[in-house]
């Protein structure tokens, strides 16, 4: 033993602890948002945690509580700020969000995009490959991530296939692992296209089902009208998909009640087809398009929003706090069908947010080769939300890291997570999902 107390040695409670009592129990759940841990503590360990500063700094409880993140001897907030700066300049991964077209065969009333006709030309495809060469060469990245986006990217399967093969070859020549995903409405999937996506190394797809039958068709319909639910479901059931599918359920007041039935349907389809299907709920928020086109849709309000988002945040919770948006990284770019570069998924259809072009921009001289440097630096400068005093002091900072950069900059400011004022509901959601455990090796029993 050192003879010095933990308090004298600088150990203190984490600023990012949340707690809740296990229902009908003497156990306390303590979650640490910085470390991504959640543990049930018996009364004995609750007592130890309440008085740890009096212990010798070498006491076993100090090591245990430190490993859980409940106590620390450093400034966690300063670490988060440093993590943000490192995320901004990290060269581990180069990320491309590629829109081969901004056209779409759907007309969803809440979609935030303006859809334009036209497809990525061969010249722009060549520019995309050349930009990838510059970014991989300058960064020495270990991973090259490509996400196909739109519009509806499967309106342009030939572009996806030809450009994928070139980018795969380029990644391999630089010794980088190639990863790929696609966001598609799923309506145009066929077995031939699914097989092509497999050859193109697509290993994950996001497909949206907004409830069951008519609930889905009310918001996910074809341009000019026309139901889409049955065809998408048939594609998920009958095709052999060489990638996992995250099924997004955009929840609003008119379809949230379909959650249980939709989960069960996906479970049945996965069992019958052998395809990997994961359910992913997301609350629909107001945006400029919603406000002008969605007078027949009603947003979730109050406790329904809190419940849905709390459960979703609990599902995502884990080790690896301090995630920063790709918009905060110099090495992630969105590319529209004309070759314009943007920093955000929600900006790829809006040339006014473009900072340059795939033809001209050079990451080794990022500001002087940017046609509009302010559209680049404004995103990078949101990485650490230190100027926002409320975020700076908030216990939820490791989870939300200041919210969406684009929203903060251009869409009315940040939106706090709905469980912010009800932390116990979040901790209990972790418990109900079985995300908590007791101290290791039987400690705390």
Percent of the chain clearing pLDDT 90 (strictly above): 67
The pLDDT mean for the chain works out to 89
Cβ(444)–Cβ(44) below 8 Å: yes
Judged by phi (left if over 0) then psi (alpha if -120 to 50, else beta), residue 444 lies in left
Domain boundaries, the chain: 1-74+385-445, 85-297+329-378
Residue ranges of E strands in 139-197: 143-148, 177-183
153-157, 314-318, 389-393: range with lowest mean pLDDT: 314-318
For residue 401, give the 3-state DSSP assignment. Answer: coil
* pLDDT-derived band at 321, boundaries 50, 70, 90: low
More confident residue, 290 or 204: 204
Q: Of 435 and 291, which is predicted with more confidence?
A: 435
DSSP H or E segment with residue 67? helix 60-67
User: 310: pLDDT confidence band, cut at 50, 70 and 90?
Assistant: confident
Q: What architecture (CATH level 2) is domain 85-297+329-378?
A: Alpha-Beta Barrel (3.20)
Do 98 and 149 form a contact (C-beta atoms < 8 A)? yes
**Read out DSSP for 220-243?**
S-BTTS---HHHHHHHHHHS--SS
Residues 6+ apart with CB under 8 A from 342: 333, 334, 335, 336, 348, 350, 353, 354, 355, 375
CA distances (Å), 151 to each of 112, 115, 118, in order? 11, 6, 10
Cβ(345)–Cβ(379) below 8 Å: no
Q: Which helix (H) or strand (E) holds 76?
A: helix 76-89
Alpha-carbon span 115 to 137, nearest angstrom: 33
pLDDT digits (tens, 9 = 90+) for 222-234: 999 999 999 999 9
pLDDT score, position 320: 58
pLDDT at 440 over 60: no
Average confidence (pLDDT) over 93-97 = 97
Least confident of 75-89, 316-330, 375-389: 316-330
Q: Residue 441 is encoded by which pair of tokens?
A: 């090796």
Q: Taking 90 as the threshold, does the pLDDT of residue 414 lie above it?
A: no
- The band of 322, judged by pLDDT with boundaries at 50, 70 and 90, is low
- Residues in contact with 183: Cβ distance below 8 Å, sequence separation at least 6, in sequence order: 147, 148, 149, 150, 153, 205, 206
**pLDDT single digits (tens) 159-207:** 999 999 999 999 999 999 999 999 999 999 999 999 999 999 999 999 9
Encoded tokens for 409: 């900059």
**pLDDT tops 50 at residue 338:** yes
* Average pLDDT score over residue span 309-333: 78
Q: What is the pLDDT of residue 445?
A: 34
Yes or no: say if 70 and 19 are a contact pair by the CB < 8 Å rule. no
């Amino acid at each position: 033993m050192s003879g010095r107390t933990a308090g004298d040695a600088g150990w203190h409670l984490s600023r990012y602890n949340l707690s809740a009592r296990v229902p009908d129990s003497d156990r306390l759940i303590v979650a640490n948002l910085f470390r991504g841990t959640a543990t049930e503590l018996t009364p004995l360990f609750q007592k130890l945690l309440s008085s740890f500063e009096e212990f010798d700094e070498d006491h076993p409880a100090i090591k245990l509580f430190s490993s859980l993140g409940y106590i620390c001897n450093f400034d966690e907030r300063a670490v988060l700020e440093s993590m943000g700066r490192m995320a901004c300049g990290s060269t581990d991964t180069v990320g491309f969000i590629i829109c081969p077209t901004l056209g779409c065969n759907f007309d969803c009333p809440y979609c935030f995009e303006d859809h334009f006709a036209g497809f990525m030309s061969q010249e722009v495809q060549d520019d995309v490959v050349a930009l990838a060469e510059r970014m991989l060469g300058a960064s020495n990245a270990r991973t090259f991530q490509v996400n196909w986006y739109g519009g509806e990217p499967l309106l342009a399967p030939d572009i996806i296939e030809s450009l994928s093969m070139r980018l795969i070859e380029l990644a391999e020549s630089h010794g980088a692992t190639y990863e790929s995903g696609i966001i598609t409405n799923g309506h145009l999937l066929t077995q031939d296209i699914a097989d092509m996506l497999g050859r193109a190394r697509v290993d994950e797809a996001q497909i949206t089902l907004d409830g069951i039958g008519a609930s889905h068709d009310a918001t996910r319909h074809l341009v000019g009208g026309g139901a889409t639910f049955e065809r998408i479901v048939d594609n998920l059931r009958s095709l052999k998909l060489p990638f996992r599918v995250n099924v997004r359920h955009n929840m609003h007041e008119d379809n949230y009640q379909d959650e249980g039935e939709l989960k069960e349907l996906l479970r049945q389809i996965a069992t019958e087809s052998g395809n990997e299907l994961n359910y992913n709920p997301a609350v629909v928020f107001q945006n400029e398009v919603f406000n002008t086109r969605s007078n027949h849709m009603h947003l979730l309000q109050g406790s329904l929003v809190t419940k849905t988002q709390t459960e979703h945040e609990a599902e995502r919770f884990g080790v690896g706090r301090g995630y920063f948006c790709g918009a905060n990284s110099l090495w992630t770019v969105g590319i529209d069908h004309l070759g314009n570069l943007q920093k955000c998924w929600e900006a790829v259809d809006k040339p006014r947010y473009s900072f340059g072009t795939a033809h001209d921009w050079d990451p080794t001289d990022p500001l002087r080769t940017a046609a509009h440097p302010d559209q680049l630096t404004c995103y990078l400068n949101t990485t650490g939300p230190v100027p926002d005093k409320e975020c700076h002091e908030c216990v939820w900072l490791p989870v939300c890291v200041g919210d969406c950069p684009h929203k903060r900059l251009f869409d009315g400011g940040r939106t706090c997570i709905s469980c912010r004022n009800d932390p116990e509901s979040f901790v209990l959601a972790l418990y109900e999902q079985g995300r908590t455990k007791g101290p290791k090796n039987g400690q705390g029993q």
